[in-house]
Amino acid sequence: MRVLFAPDWRAGIQYQRLLAESLRRHEVDVSFLSDYRRGLPLFRGARAKAPDLIHVHWPEAYFQERGDLWDWLRVLRYPLDCWLTVHYRPVVLTAHNLLPHDLANKSGGFRNARYTGQRSQAIFVHSNAARQTIREIFALSEDRIHTIPFGDHSVTMGKPMLREEARAELQLPIHQKICLVFGTISPYKGSDCLVRFWAEKSLPFRLAIVGPVVSTAFANKLYKLAQGCPMVELRLLDKWLDDAALRVWLSASDCSIFNYREIFTSGAAALARSYGLPLLIPNRLASVDLDEPHSHVFRFDALNTDFRAQLERALATPCDYAVAHDWRERTSWERVAETTASVYRDVLKEAARRVKWLGRNRCSTSKDVRQ
């Protein structure tokens, strides 16, 4: 079975690569749509690869906002691009997000995301709460939606380093509590609210914000907010954090904080969970599955209410890689690949059945015309 992953976003996230490697054991050969062709990029790219099935992961890549005069055209043309693609080959979708991050044209982005879901033969989601949301908002039947784990992204990193070694490598204080925020530097992350809170409350813990800059304006906002606050550490980068760098930061930290304004799935939170790092996440992000209740997951309502208390509870909880063993087993890539490959086969069987049925109908129609 030949499957095309679209788009190819392996440079920023390991999900596609790790899933593709696990799918090989199920006789699924995965290729990646790396080229972006102007004018109907999804359909033209898929036709050039000629797969048996197309697996779309982030459809927003094909109506991406680039801040130019053509943003509106990319949004408007996408439904045609998608329609041609699903009529060329069966399409499945992984709904990593309900809506693309930091999208200015939210209504257009939502319409395109919904259109993709409604035209896909199957949809994968990463939690039961996400399944319910997709079913209701996209108006889909239950049998088209399949829940799979996000996958254990710690498999390529190895076990944690000694904390002292990690902090020495990063030139961080040995005896200070360190709260980590990692991932892209983007407005939807809500890290500006954290920096403001740290500065206003003069918290005695170090807040380390680490990741590649996606929004320069937002990065500048963080620098401005952090001025005069020595307990805020900004390590804003011009490249993605690789596995080695992530391992050092996770090993050096006492907890991790995820204050997203909105999110459907959090790969970063899943990774922190795999690494046995205590983590804090808002109650409003109910679609993020972290196998709760759990001793290392601390939910809070808001920064100005119960966050401080939950933070102190998290910092009093030791990091424990071993305690996350069951989570790593439950989110193993073999489990993800097994379900994914099974859905692929069902989709292709249904597609073959439809082709056969259409062929029979055409033959019957031709006979009736001749008679």
pLDDT in tens, 229-262: 999 999 999 999 999 999 999 999 999 999 999 8
pLDDT of amino acid 282: 98
pLDDT of amino acid 369: 44
Lay out the sheet containing 255-257: strands in order across: 232-237, 206-212, 178-182, 255-257, 279-282, 297-300
What rounded mean pLDDT belongs to the chain?
93
pLDDT digits (tens, 9 = 90+) for 12-55: 889 999 999 999 999 999 999 998 888 899 999 999 999 999 99
pLDDT of amino acid 359: 63
Q: What are phi and psi of 270, to 5 degrees?
A: -65, -40
Q: What is the mean pLDDT of residues 63-84?
A: 87
List, in sequence order, every residue forming a beta bridge with 255; answer none if it has no partner.
179
Q: What percent of the chain has pLDDT over 70?
A: 95
pLDDT at residue 223 above 90? yes
pLDDT digits (tens, 9 = 90+) for 145-202: 999 999 999 999 999 999 999 999 999 999 999 999 999 999 999 999 999 999 999 9
pLDDT of amino acid 368: 53
Q: What is the mean pLDDT of residues 292-301?
A: 97
Query: Please, are residues 218 and 184 in contact by the beta-carbon 8 Å criterion?
Result: no
Q: What is the mean pLDDT of residues 97-112?
A: 79
pLDDT of amino acid 362: 58
Give which of 115, 41, 35 is closest to 73, Cα–Cα. 41
Give which of 234, 230, 167 is closest to 204, Cα–Cα. 230
pLDDT at residue 335 above 80? yes
pLDDT of amino acid 324: 97
Give which of 231, 221, 235 is closest to 178, Cα–Cα. 231
Per DSSP, the residues of 33-65 read: -----SSSHHHHHHHHH--SEEEES-GGGGS--
Distance CA 291, CA 269 (A): 12
pLDDT at residue 106 above 90? no
Give which of 272, 195, 202 is closest to 234, Cα–Cα. 195
Q: What percent of the chain has pLDDT over 90?
A: 85
Q: What is the mean pLDDT of residues 318-338?
A: 97
Give which of 41, 99, 102, 93 is closest to 66, Cα–Cα. 102
Q: What is the mean pLDDT of residues 207-219?
A: 96
Looking at 143-152, 175-184, 272-281, 355-364, which range is the least confident one? 355-364
Domains for the chain: give ranges and CATH numbers. Answer: 2-151+332-365 (3.40.50.2000), 163-325 (3.40.50.2000)
pLDDT digits (tens, 9 = 90+) for 11-24: 888 999 999 999 99
pLDDT digits (tens, 9 = 90+) for 298-323: 999 999 999 999 999 999 999 999 99
pLDDT of amino acid 273: 98
Distance CA 369, CA 371 (A): 5
